[in-house]
């Protein structure tokens, strides 16, 4: 079940966002229940002088990989500046590139996203890029050298689940780097579906933090990701329009 992104080796395929929790105790218990290896957070929403204390109160950070993101950026320049600030603050050199182009849907700006990713790759960052479910854009990010591509299932925080499984499957089929489904998942069924389509992992925040019971939802998402991955690796039976008997018919004695 190990996932490799750049030089990072992860035991869990579930990444978890911080923030949006009612309090730090709920966040801590949800993180522990999720069994995640990766915690992501918005650099621009915290004081970099006390980043760890602000975002991860009560958590033993030696157990996690940190994934700062550039949420709030609307240009490549802003995203690059945010990433460099995170690195200079000693957080890490792994970054989730997020450059929003539409304030209503929070979908990324493809041109600025490509520019930011290219510049950060050239500067030695481990780059995971948030993108739409555009098959061509996902391929271009991969060809550029991004260490992971993170297509949205649906708009951020919407809970709509995977609205375009056709595109997501094409993104997975062409991929030579990990595909992490990011944004829009709402339930364990959504997470399982993403993994069954062949995604290498999922990143969640609102689906856990805004659930009625975030701790139970975090555990449910952990199990959903594991089940979906196992199901994908096992290979499901093909769908058919006719029935197939579960028991063999050969050698069955006729009834009188």
Could you report the per-residue pLDDT of 70-123, keeping only the tens digit for each?
Answer: 988 999 999 999 999 888 877 778 899 999 998 888 899 999 999 999 999 999
CATH label of the domain that carries residue 144: 3.20.20.70
* Digit-coded pLDDT (tens) for 238-255: 888 888 877 766 666 666
Confidence of residue 19 (pLDDT cuts 50, 70, 90): confident
User: Following DSSP, what letter does each residue of the chain receive, concatenated?
Assistant: --EEETTEEES-SEEEE-S--SSHHHHHHHHHHHT-SEEEEEGGGS-GGGHHHHHSTT--GGG-EEEEE-TTB-SHHHHHHHHHHHHHTTS-SEEEE-BB--TTT--B-HHHHHHHHHHHHHTT-EEEEEE-S-HHHHHHHHHHT-SEEEE-SSSTT-----S-HHHHHHHHHH-SS-BEEES---SHHHHHHHHHTT-SEEEESHHHHTSSSHHHHHHHHHHHHHHHHHHHHH-PPPP-SS---SS--TTPPPP-
The overall average pLDDT reported for the chain is 89
74 located within any domain = yes
Q: Which residue has the higher pLDDT, 43 or 200?
A: 200
Q: Within a domain: residue 133?
A: yes
**Choice among 27-36, 83-92, 177-186 with the minimum mean pLDDT:** 83-92
pLDDT(45) > 80:
no
> What residue numbers bound the domain in which 18 lies?
10-234
Instruction: Decide which of 176 and 18 is more confident.
Output: 176
Q: Is 96 an annotated catalytic residue?
A: yes
Question: Residue 160 domain-assigned?
Answer: yes
- Mean pLDDT confidence for 141-146: 95
* Any domain includes 247: no
* 251 labelled binding-site residue: no
Q: What are phi and psi of 120, to 5 degrees?
A: -70, -35
Question: Is 50 labeled as ligand-binding?
Answer: no
What is the value of pTM for the model shown?
A: 0.88
Count of domains for the chain:
1
Place 48 in a pLDDT band, splitting at 50, 70 and 90: low
Is pLDDT of 54 > 60?
A: no
Predicted confidence (pLDDT) at residue 160 exceeds the cutoff of 60: yes
pLDDT for position 64: 86
Catalytic residue among 96, 104, 222, 239: 96
- Residue 1 in any domain: the answer is no
Is 11 annotated as belonging to a binding site? no
The tokens for 139 are 């391929």
């Amino acid at each position: 079940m190990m996932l490799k992104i750049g030089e990072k080796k992860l035991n869990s395929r579930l990444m978890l966002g911080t923030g949006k929790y009612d309090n730090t105790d709920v966040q801590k218990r949800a993180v522990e229940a999720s069994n995640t290896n990766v915690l992501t957070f918005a650099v621009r929403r915290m004081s970099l002088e006390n980043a760890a204390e602000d975002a991860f109160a009560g958590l033993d950070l030696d157990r996690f990989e940190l994934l700062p993101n550039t949420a709030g950026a609307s240009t490549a320049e802003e995203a690059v500046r945010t990433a460099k600030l995170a690195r200079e603050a000693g957080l890490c050199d792994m970054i989730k590139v997020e450059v929003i182009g539409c304030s209503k849907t929070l979908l990324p700006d493809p041109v600025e996203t490509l520019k930011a990713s290219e510049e950060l790759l050239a500067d030695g960052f481990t780059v995971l890029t948030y993108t739409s479910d555009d098959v061509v854009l996902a391929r271009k990010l991969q060809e550029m050298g991004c260490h992971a591509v993170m297509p949205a299932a649906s708009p951020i925080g919407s809970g709509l689940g995977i609205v375009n499984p056709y595109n997501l499957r094409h993104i997975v089929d062409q991929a030579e780097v990990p595909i992490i489904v990011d944004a829009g998942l709402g339930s364990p069924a959504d997470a399982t579906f993403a993994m069954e389509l062949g995604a290498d992992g999922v990143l969640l925040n609102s689906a856990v933090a805004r659930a009625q019971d975030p701790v139970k939802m975090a555990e449910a998402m952990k199990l959903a990701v594991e089940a979906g991955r196992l199901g994908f690796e096992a290979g499901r039976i093909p769908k058919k329009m006719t029935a197939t008997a579960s028991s063999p018919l050969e050698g069955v004695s006729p009834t009188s």
